[in-house]
């Protein structure tokens, strides 16, 4: 079988918070096409809340950062990294890992990862490039773009399942951390009459607006700093456990007395602590679990 030509070289290294900005800038100056930064402790109890989360003073960087720099395959990596580390004030280069990235038809490869998803007998999630499998069903046509939320992840499925089973018709809904807008769109198609989505990522807000328009539903999407404070009958938040704990007072204010709260993005060892935080405002129900992820739900106390 013919081997695809190597188009890119990904260089992964660990950088502490004090040097993150300097190293990232220096890698770009040394020829990196892009630099991606992620919390090295994501998915663990020591993960850092998302930058700029409302109610939390934003960190300048994660405590421990996984940095991945993408270089063209012809680059002299040793020289580029040596130059970058020196420019950042690190004269002893940290350990790094190199991964070859072959040339790909990235559009086709990405699209092939997503197939129509049957949530229930009446609800489907259909990527925009696929035909609708069941025209009689409630079909959410989704173009994920750069925002999280395709319906394939267990955290999203847990929220869709709750909406399909429990959403009262005619209610108002807030999707906090809306990503692609999938939960807000599902709520509108399942009978909610006032739907709002909120996110800290401007790309997510734009993606949500596009997807809502494509589905012919009426929903408003806001940056977190500009979101109206009016509470709703149902509040959904599919994020991660640490941001959920930080957001607890805000999400409580956004839920009317007697209203429903749905939380997802929680690992089983984190569920007890997250539920404990929210019990100050909510009667928390038994958790639901899907493929190692937990959904919590509850009723706002009066």
Over residues 43-86, the pLDDT tens digits come to 676 666 554 444 444 455 577 888 999 888 877 888 888 888 88
Over residues 262-300, the pLDDT tens digits come to 999 999 999 999 999 999 999 999 999 999 999 999 999
- Give the CATH number of domain 109-300: 3.40.50.150
Please state whether beta strands 288-290 and 293-300 pair in parallel, antiparallel, or not at all (unpaired).
antiparallel
Over residues 210-251, the pLDDT tens digits come to 999 999 999 999 999 999 999 999 999 999 999 999 999 999
pLDDT at 104 over 60: no
Over residues 1-51, the pLDDT tens digits come to 444 455 788 889 888 888 888 999 999 998 888 898 888 777 676 666 554
pLDDT for the residue numbered 112: 52
Predicted TM-score (pTM) above 0.75: no
Over residues 185-194, the pLDDT tens digits come to 999 999 999 9
Over residues 115-172, the pLDDT tens digits come to 788 989 899 989 888 889 899 999 999 875 555 666 678 999 999 999 999 999 999 9
pLDDT for the residue numbered 60: 52
Structural domain spans, the chain? 6-104, 109-300
pLDDT at 95 over 90: no
Banded pLDDT at 175 (limits 50, 70, 90): very high
Architecture category of domain 6-104 in CATH:
2-Layer Sandwich (3.30)
pLDDT for the residue numbered 168: 95
pLDDT at 106 over 80: no
């Amino acid at each position: 079988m013919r081997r695809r030509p190597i188009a890119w070289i990904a260089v992964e290294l660990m950088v502490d918070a004090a040097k993150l900005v300097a190293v990232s800038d220096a890698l770009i100056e040394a020829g990196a096409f892009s630099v991606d930064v992620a919390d090295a402790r994501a998915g663990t109890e020591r993960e850092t809340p998302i930058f700029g989360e409302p109610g939390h003073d934003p960190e300048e960087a994660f405590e421990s950062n996984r940095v991945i720099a993408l270089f063209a395959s012809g680059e002299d990596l040793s020289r580029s990294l040596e130059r970058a580390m020196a420019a950042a004030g690190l004269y002893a280069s940290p350990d790094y890992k190199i991964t070859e990235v072959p040339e790909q038809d990235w559009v086709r490869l990405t699209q092939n990862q997503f197939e129509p998803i049957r949530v229930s007998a009446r609800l489907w999630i259909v990527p925009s490039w696929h035909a609708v499998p069941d025209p009689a069903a409630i079909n959410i046509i989704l173009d994920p773009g750069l925002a999280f939320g395709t319906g394939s992840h267990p955290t999203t499925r847990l929220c869709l399942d709750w909406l399909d089973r429990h959403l009262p018709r005619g209610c108002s809904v807030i999707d906090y951390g809306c990503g692609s807008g999938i939960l807000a769109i599902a709520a509108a198609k399942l009978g909610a009459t006032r739907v709002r989505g909120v996110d800290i990522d401007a790309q997510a807000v734009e993606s949500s607006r596009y997807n809502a328009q494509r589905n012919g539903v009426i929903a408003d999407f806001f940056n977190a700093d500009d979101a109206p404070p009016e509470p709703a009958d149902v509040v959904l938040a599919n994020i991660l456990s640490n941001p959920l704990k930080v957001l607890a007072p805000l999400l409580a204010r956004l839920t009317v007395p007697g209203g429903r709260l749905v939380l997802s993005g929680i690992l089983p060892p984190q569920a007890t602590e997250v539920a404990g935080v929210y019990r100050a405002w909510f009667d928390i129900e038994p958790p639901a679990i899907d493929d190692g992820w937990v959904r919590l739900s509850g009723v706002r106390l009066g």
